Structure 1
Amino acid sequence: MSDIRIDKVVTSGTFSLDGGTWEVDNNVWIVGDDDECVVIDAAHDATAIHQAVGGRTLTHILCTHGHDDHIDAVGDLIELNPKAQVLIHDGDRMLWDREISEPPDGELVDGQVIEVGGAQLKVLHTPGHSPGACCFLLEAQGVLFSGDTLFNGGPGATGRSFSDFGTIIESIREKLLTLPPETVVHTGHGDDTSVGAEAPHLQEWIDRGH
């Protein structure tokens, strides 16, 4: 069995919601071994993601949530990898359906385990940034892919439609900050962090209410 690989591709594009559009850089994570892998968030540039997949079999495209900057390359990536299954939590279908006419192949469910290349990715439903937001935990490796739920410096944004600050705080408190402090957090945008680096600041986030 090959060692588990975590590859990162940074892609650039736009995020649009509530009538506004912003330039963004997204972290796309590819998890697996030398034979097969999954992509976490097909953002902006299917060609760059496909090149990082290389000759491996892409088994799944896992969506941390349905904002357009995290799913806008799904269609093109599926054309390049037609056997890959696209999974998103049902809570974000209203966001998915705004962008993509075809339904996803399946639904992410809290506690579900997705196996690829010897790795086991556990789905953690962490609503707040969006109703169907999910994180993916590589428990044995001590790695969390947090999407836009937890960043280096605090929780994801909750000032737009379908988001809620109290809900994201509860998700982070109950699902993420209970993980071992040494857990590495690979985020949807920006730099990595760790559970231990973020946990002491929970009350500050609550007091700021942002």
Structure 2
Amino acid sequence: MADTRTAGSADGGDSLMAATIERLVTSGTFSLGDDTFGVENNVWIIGDAEEAMVIDAAHDADIIAAAVGSRRLLAILCTHAHNDHIDAAPALSDRTGAPILLNRKDLDLWHRTHPDRVPDDEADDGRQLHVAGSRMTVRHTPGHSPGSVSVYDPALGTVFTGDTLFCGGPGATGHPFSDFGTIIDSIRERLLTLPPETAVCPGHGDTTTVGEEAKHQDEWLDRGY
């Protein structure tokens, strides 16, 4: 488990909102085309003692369900549809009754992993998600995949970026359905415009901040991910 972050009242009141962020790290494989290799994924759980939401149900529905515990699971949000971020989503949904949310532009990728199952709802740009008094907004951040999204909560001071932005730079774009110029535009226009102290919680690896990553934009362009 990573360190837990707690948000203040979303409405500016004196009481503290109970929403916290928990991180699970699960292990499995990532496959695209002819390539398959081992990966570790961050599974983010936002909630309180009564309810929760999961961002990216990766690899092991049993482990994720155990972490959610007796809380009511309101949604399973997929930041994108690469198999390592969605492979456990249907099993977790079946177990908990929580709907699966995915941006419609990633449906082709989704069906490569789950040809006989469709997501329950759409993670459209601007959609607001509510859990444990927390109000999060979906931001479409394509480039790593056409339907990649990030989820921002100003009260928690956190953005969940999937594989769009990591500690150290943009997500990979050297595979089908991805584009380097698009991911750079998404990061610059939709993520680096957030307050610099905003915590960046990615789909893999360590957390960082918007301000820290903004320092290295020229390096990204030189490397040309």
Confirm or deny a common fold (TM above 0.5): yes
2:210 aligned residue (189, 195, 201): 195
2:161 aligned residue = 146
Percent identity, aligned pairs only, is 56
SS at match of 1:131: coil
C-alpha distance in structure 2 between counterparts of 1:158 and 1:130, whole Å: 8
Gaps of 5+ in 1: none
1:94 aligned residue = 108
Give yes or no for the alignment of 1:71 onto 2:86.
yes
1:85 aligned residue = 99
Gaps of 5+ in 2: 1-15
Q: Deviations over 1:64-117 (max 9, x none)?
A: 0000000000121122102x1110000100011111111111111111111111
Aligned 8 A contact 2:78 2:101 in 1? yes
2:142 aligned residue (127, 130, 149): 127
Aligned 8 A contact 1:7 1:52 in 2? no
Aligned 8 A contact 1:5 1:34 in 2? no
Runs of 4+, deviation exceeding 4 Å: none
> Cα RMSD over matched residues?
0.9
C-alpha distance in structure 2 between counterparts of 1:47 and 1:20, whole Å: 26
The 1:179/1:2 distance shift into structure 2, 3 A limit, reads: closer
Give yes or no for the alignment of 1:43 onto 2:49.
no
C-alpha distance in structure 2 between counterparts of 1:79 and 1:103, whole Å: 13
Q: Deviations over 1:116-148 (max 9, x none)?
A: 110111101000000000001111221011100
C-alpha distance in structure 2 between counterparts of 1:189 and 1:140, whole Å: 23
Amino acid at match of 1:105: D
SS at match of 2:216: helix
1:109 aligned residue = 124
Aligned 8 A contact 1:44 1:73 in 2? yes
1:182 aligned residue = 197
Aligned 8 A contact 1:30 1:53 in 2? yes
1:204 aligned residue (219, 222, 225): 219
